[in-house]
Structure 1
């Protein structure tokens, strides 16, 4: 059984204590996480604890229940609100309805009535959570989202951003079947400059995609999706020699859509591969084939293997993919995983399996990529602080085992430096926030949202980092800093309390006095008296 949290808000503390004592909260499925005697304090507690229910009085000092509820509904829409008040006025009731309050209860509240209200609230909360957790509903949401998830997977696949060991899980989760045994990418480009009169280019491109699905989709077991303003199809072939048949059919398709809807379409046909992890290379060659339309003309299919057979050797994008996998492991995984990834990459570029020239090129690309990695991640490494040419010459002189060890050591070093950089970044982030407070504490509009906007970061991420680094919430830090400034002003100046309140960001001097007393245990005037007398 789920237990829900309640925050009680009333400026009459006796009322709250009676409610806490007379209701069997645990028995009806609730826990009181605390209480506040004004709306401003309540809002701080809501931001920190995010209770399921807030039961609040309406008329309170500093911030009334209506204003508090407005804030809650805007920033925490899932939180339920109950009003209880001794002011039986129609305008209040109307406003409560407008704020979508769950209940409007008049004081004095008896235990039976309140127990019934919260019992019904528990039933409603249970139903809402049950709906969200319902396997059937979640399955429905999932199936509705599946086409978008699949399209996103295909896009990531042709970008070369999926690791081989992740593939099976993606295919299972997204209910995708690749039977092959051979695969090929098609890039279907619709001209945006040569379109029928009065035809919208986007509608024309959408129509071409629909025709492609009907004309090519079923026969070639194609996966079809949009990517970078083109239609991309991943087709499946029973054998490599079916490629010429596919080229002919794509050529006929180009002429068909030109005749039927007037679209000028070029289909680029990429290299054939046996592993879907290699589809990034097939896509790159298909996209390159489309660019040859300036030479061979549009409204036709262009097969990269036919027009540039000598260029169909292994693409350098394979190297890029393998390097990307190594860098991803350095960023996210343990030392053991990093060593394994470095060994895998070294096995790929190792000299015995390649020509001397290709080996030298791979080592040069490795150094270049490692250097870019240091720059992009603010890593200070002495290997890359000197002459890169000298480093390249030195590495080429190393034997296989020594070069492998160097790659492993530099990868582990990068991982260690990244951890240090992240820690420094978090501390720098907090310093900036604290500095912002020091320069804007007098602004009564200063809040968690405004500092996050200034730092260009989300509230949730900021709050997590700030609390982790300082041990205090941002609101707590801001309040403490304002109070310390106020205490200094009370001792060092003769300004009135309401002037000091305004100078440290409080528009309401009464609320300032309340917060000050909560912080120091005495009122501002008494604090001034005690400290000025002690100095004499």
Structure 2
């Protein structure tokens, strides 16, 4: 029996189709559904349906994009497009995507069953007459290692949309479809097979961007499993000793993301952690590197947590953070002056590197950090550790909060440009990067790193917030507001609005009026 998968962002339609047909009696198996194309892809990869029924208009990845990806990634899968738009252009695009059928909503269960049977016969005919699909795929997917490395590096820098990344990955014979991702970067002193076990034991894609550095895009279907994997990797890395102890390896692990466009953010975090580890490594003595127990003890804390607090933490939370970050010193078995000194040194160097990195290193701030650092050799007790940390964090966060902008000049210019041009439907990463005079991949990487949002997420948030203001203050029609905030398609605007706010524009306006009545 042919397996059927449904993609539609409206729950009522998914439930209506899923429950409205006696699948077994009609000779089919209903194997699953999803609310948009990008979320559907990992499930389609897992369940391998014969036929995909998809709505044409959906947020994140619409039905035409999904159809093109399936055409290239899984050419044996047939696609049926459902659309409420009786326009020639949609039909023409559907033909280009080689969809099996294109039909208008609403469609009855009887009509849909007839269409499914028609497509099913077409599948059986193709299976009988054409057994060369795998050979053709292998010919298309022949690419050099250099092309693969270039693509993966550009992917990690944010140069591709989800659709573009999946198309390029398919061309390079890379299986990029997954529900969750995180990035690991390892820099080592010499060519080594110390890390060959990663590709054997985990589902991942490995590439290199420079000599003696490996980058892994780790993948999985469960956030819980990947959280466990990050801990296991971190613990195992701490047990590895390189032959060249003069320059031991460093690593960085990014956070878990649930979309392809989250990979650059995880990559940025991993790269940042690795960079901080490299700086710390320069100041560590041979004694600490050769003492494996002490080395493990000093890795109980998570430098990533400190970096995040320096960026986004509140001064009111300094005391609680200091206690949490240093708790292992209070509870640990190794509490020698040597251990305390190196913990505080790591803490101080991380802060100094952060201050320099965001161009906040004015003379006064650096002098104060230097004066505080002189105390570290004399600290012996846990309360003294807390006092030192709190004084240092108050200094840095007060200086940070006193800046006019939390962003670098490039990102601030981009933010200002978006604020001034959000109403332009042609606004894109490329147009903004041209205005800022940097490459689109670099801006995407920098933007995600500093704002915590992808470019698309930020623009969408700005537009929806402006739309909410207009809904509150004007009597304009929904389609008029859509055009005023940069959406050329009012249907897509309505879906994006509901996706962000959880309400339709009508519900939002009614709710606002009732609160002000």
**TM-score band w.r.t. shorter chain:** 0.3 to 0.5
Higher Rg: 1
Greater RCO (Cα-Cα under 8 Å, separation 6 or more): 2
TM-score normalised per structure 2: 0.37
